[in-house]
Structure 1
Amino acid sequence: MSTYTLRNASPAKTRCDAVVVGVVQGGKGAKGGPLVALGGEEVAHAYGRTFRPLLASLGFTGKVGEVAKIPTAKQLTSPLLVVIGLGKVGEDGVLDPRVVRRAAGVAARSVSNAASVALALPADTPELVRAVTEGFVLGGYTYTAYKKKADDDKPRSPGEVVVLSPSARKKEHVQAFEDAQLVAEHVATTRDWVNTPPGDLTPPSFAAAVEAAVKDASKGRGAPKLTVTVRDERALAELGCGGILGVGGGSAAPPRLVEIGYAPRGAKTHLALVGKGITFDSGGLTIKPAASMNDMKSDMAGAAAVVQATLAIARLGLPIRVTAFAPMAENMVSGDSMRPGDVLTMYGGTTVEVTNTDAEGRLVLGDALVMATERQPDVILDVATLTGHMVVALGDKVAGVMGSQDVVDAVLAAAGTAGEEQWPMPIPEAMDERIHSSRVADLAQHDWVRWGGGLFAAAFLREFTGGLPWAHLDIAGPGYNSGGPYGHVTSGGTGFAVTTLVDYARALAG
């Protein structure tokens, strides 16, 4: 475990094993190469005129994500200088916190052998303090639950991390620093859950993990008051949750629906969160190709995100009521699996014709969304690794956001401060005709038209929102990183949407 400290000190004189500074590109016509960024001036001063030529001799240009490790030869108190590229500064001369967050993530993976690290990245505002802290915590994340104990000679996280800021004693900077660590902790737990092998995170065990997390967050003096209710397959049958039961019917591990409540005194706004919790998706009888199943343990990333965001909101003490729903099922193949052509009666009575058992997420979300409307929230957000169509449209690093225009705009604003890439997508009128195309039921679950499948899914979900203000976040791309790490995002589960949900709740609470 790393210990984090916010301090106002000279990076040139810090006694940490490594000191990290940022460097920006000088731009066209700049003489002498890249320029040291805010926070690293004293390091550049310690080197004097040799600093920029030194970087130039290493071929360091300052582009985003670029790294150079330089033994200081006693030019600094720290024996190692790590230089991180920040790219070009905007026309206003201000660095984007998103760039700084990613740079801090790169730094975390560049100093894994150091026992102590000082971060002299730009951190003169609360937003930048948050970016540096979140970026470093999340960039250094590792998942080792199933590995043998690391050998002593293998890289490990620094025991002490010092975030250097000229405003370290200001209340708002300290608050940003502490809040960033708390939120990053919940993002990391989301990653842990997503990375857990699906055989060990079935719906019952996932529900038990959520129960334990809620109880842990509620312990101790000053802890928030949270409630948690777990509905098993019998309770779901009594309620008539045909979507969750239909999807989970083919698995030996029965489905669950977890509800979390947080209602602090004085809360004037009520936010409902719904997250897709498919703990493994084989596709059911509309079975996936083998290669497409490799990462399907991640199909519960939406549920993990809304649960951890709710806990973070509660621990931050935000004055907003939150009700979170996590419908959990395993979509498997057996004699009890739902069939193409089946008609499911959803919670609330709407009937749905199933034509593609691999479009199961919208079915479990439909039940939970109706239940959310019964709590009469002011706004509903759902988060789901829902469609491959959205990945085709936006790539694997950007989420699509659809729904009520004012809610979509607010979600995108929250994503901007959270440093998560999200993009607005429409729900065209033509989708209404498509979702009502079934000849035997109220709604068609899927229609096999290749075009606009992600928009069809959003239109389908909208039918279960009761006309309330709502937005749907399709995180099928950024919810899981099957490639190498980039910025503060590591391989595997990313914890995507947690910070956006927290920042949305901050804004909603005023």
Structure 2
Amino acid sequence: MTALTLSTAGAATLRADAIVVGVAKGARGPVVAPGAEAVDTAFDGKLAAVLETLGATGAEGEVTKLPSPSGIKAPVVLAVGLGTVPEQDHAFAAETLRRAAGTASRVLAGAKKAAFALPIEASEDAEAIAEGALLGAYAFTAYQSGDRKDAKAPLAEVALLGAKPRDKAYKAAAERALAVTEELNRARDLINTPPNGLTPEIFANLAAAAGKEHGLKVQILDEKALVKGGFGGIAGVGQGSENPPRLVKLTYTHSKDAKTLALVGKGITYDSGGISLKPAGHNETMKCDMSGAAAVFAAVIAVARLGLAVNVTGWLALAENMPSGTAIRPGDVLRMYSGKTVEVLNTDAEGRLVLADALWKASEEKPDAIVDVATLTGAMVVALGNRTFGVMSNDEAFRTAIHETAEEVGEQSWPMPLPADLRKGMDSPTADIANMGERMGGGLVAGLFLQEFVGEGITWAHLDIAGPAFHESAPFGYTPKGGTGSSVRTLVRLAERIAAGDLG
């Protein structure tokens, strides 16, 4: 776990393995960003010229390492690009600082301490830099050993220069950054864990342990309780596996008068597709199909750590979708917890089945709002790509608020519709509804299916994170290869907005 400190030390005098400075893209070449004045002075005011000689332009994501001159105790200066110089009197955007800090942390993997002398004008800047640095320092090494594990060791300590350790706003910013990033990295660990190391039962036990640590009430329904309780969706999906399903409820209570936000996460710990088996090449990353449950789990704990004035319940719908003699078949009909019957036309459309039960169970408590999170459809990846999640809702204002919240914290999202005409495609001659509809607009069809299992009059939104939940390409900014923890920051910020009364 990477440590975070706020330091009043000068950039030239702080002892560290490296000092990180920002360089921006100016009209006539690279420009040293605010915060690096002492370092520039040590270079006789020629740091920008030296960087330009080495090929630096200041473009976002660009990294240049150079040895420190005399007068600087850190042996290495790492210049990270911030992009175009902001217009006059405009600070660098929080996401720009976040990504730059994340890039620097990744480059400095294995170092004991790095001092970040990036532009800080307010506590919000310090928080963004801290978040980026702590997220960029992430590495998943639980299943590696020896030299390979040592080579991936994350940066051990991040020191923020220019932050004010005695200022309440800066201290609060640092505490928030630690809580959010540590829980987001917890979600990443879960997503990256191989499926034989994270069955529904193991996930539920981890939730129970974390809940006890952070003062949450935890309730777990095992396979017998799910069958007895009529949870046909979760029990049905899980019945094909030797690792039985679970439904976990995490409860954080602030006060009786606080608004209540229910979060529901899809937790398919491994998705083979069931009898509708996935083709070769599509199974290898299906350990990530529990990313929604991981995000909900992490968000609830972060909310508890921050002590927010909102009541939050997290529902983890956990199952393993496997083909076997006991698995559900295309053509089977399941009776859901709501009482509705569902004809299963494709067993690989299982996420909506487990979510449907959890959504109805969450609805019984009549929360002020419900948000579900799921790696639900490949169609959403086709529509929005690998870095953007879709947002659907039965309330346009709430959908807009979530989209704005995601953009505020640096997560890419896009509002999507729920066209009523697509509902007819899920009509079933046998049951109340089928779990498949029209192929075109499949992500929207899935949203319409889920909407059928939201209690009347309850504001609800659906986040399809199938694209950004698991990153298979080269790392960038603070985003690693593998599990990303997509939507955790959005959910936490949404809870903060509700607590502050920003949302009705």
TM-score range, shorter-chain basis?
over 0.9
Gaps of 5+ in 2: none
Give the counterpart of 1:451 among 433, 440, 461. Answer: 440
Q: Does 1:37 align with 2:28?
A: no
Distance 1:152 1:367, change over 3 A: closer
Give the counterpart of 2:450 among 461, 482, 490. Answer: 461
Q: SS where residue 25 of structure 1 aligns?
A: strand
Hey, what does 1:426 align to over in structure 2?
A: 417
Contact preservation (8 Å) 1:267, 1:319: no
Equivalent-residue separation in structure 2 for 1:353 and 1:128 (angstroms): 51
For residues 352-401 of structure 1, the C-alpha deviation after alignment (integer angstroms, 9 at most, x for no partner) is 11111101000000000000000110000000000000000111111000
Contact preservation (8 Å) 1:11, 1:40: yes
Distance 1:359 1:152, change over 3 A: closer
Equivalent-residue separation in structure 1 for 2:460 and 2:120 (angstroms): 35
CA shift, 1:410, in A, is 1.6
Hey, what does 1:222 align to over in structure 2?
A: none
Hey, what does 2:210 align to over in structure 1?
A: 213
Equivalent-residue separation in structure 2 for 1:101 and 1:24 (angstroms): 15
Contact preservation (8 Å) 1:276, 1:365: yes
Distance 1:166 1:217, change over 3 A: closer
Distance 1:103 1:215, change over 3 A: same
Q: Does 1:247 align with 2:237?
A: yes
CA shift, 1:267, in A, is 4.3
CA shift, 1:90, in A, is 4.0
Hey, what does 2:375 align to over in structure 1?
A: 385
Hey, what does 1:405 align to over in structure 2?
A: 396
Q: SS where residue 276 of structure 2 aligns?
A: coil
Q: How many residues align structurally?
A: 497
CA shift, 1:151, in A, is 7.1
Hey, what does 2:5 align to over in structure 1?
A: 5
Task: Name the aligned partner's letter for residue 260 of structure 1.
Answer: L
Hey, what does 2:173 align to over in structure 1?
A: 176
Equivalent-residue separation in structure 1 for 2:156 and 2:236 (angstroms): 48
Equivalent-residue separation in structure 2 for 1:21 and 1:279 (angstroms): 41
Equivalent-residue separation in structure 1 for 2:148 and 2:266 (angstroms): 38
Give the counterpart of 1:157 among 148, 154, 159. Answer: 154
Contact preservation (8 Å) 1:266, 1:319: no
Equivalent-residue separation in structure 2 for 1:75 and 1:155 (angstroms): 31
Hey, what does 1:148 align to over in structure 2?
A: 145
Give the counterpart of 1:103 among 86, 100, 106. Answer: 100
Q: SS where residue 314 of structure 2 aligns?
A: strand
Hey, what does 2:486 align to over in structure 1?
A: 496
Q: Does 1:64 align with 2:55?
A: no
Equivalent-residue separation in structure 1 for 2:416 and 2:263 (angstroms): 20
Task: Name the aligned partner's letter for residue 58 of structure 1.
Answer: L
Contact preservation (8 Å) 2:389, 2:412: yes
CA shift, 1:123, in A, is 2.4
Q: SS where residue 43 of structure 2 aligns?
A: helix
Distance 1:152 1:358, change over 3 A: closer
Q: Does 1:321 align with 2:318?
A: no
- Using the size of structure 2 for normalisation, the TM-score is 0.96
**Farther off after superposition, 468-477 or 416-425:** 416-425
- Note the 1:87-126 alignment, pairs <5 A: 87-91=83-87, 93-126=90-123
CA shift, 1:4, in A, is 1.6
Q: Does 1:200 align with 2:197?
A: yes
Contact preservation (8 Å) 2:139, 2:152: no
Hey, what does 1:223 align to over in structure 2?
A: none
Equivalent-residue separation in structure 1 for 2:257 and 2:40 (angstroms): 49
Contact preservation (8 Å) 1:24, 1:89: yes
Contact preservation (8 Å) 1:117, 1:162: yes
- Note the 1:463-482 alignment, pairs <5 A: 463-467=452-456, 468-482=458-472
- Using the size of structure 1 for normalisation, the TM-score is 0.95
Hey, what does 1:50 align to over in structure 2?
A: 46
CA shift, 1:95, in A, is 1.0
For residues 150-179 of structure 1, the C-alpha deviation after alignment (integer angstroms, 9 at most, x for no partner) is 479736334332111254432111101111
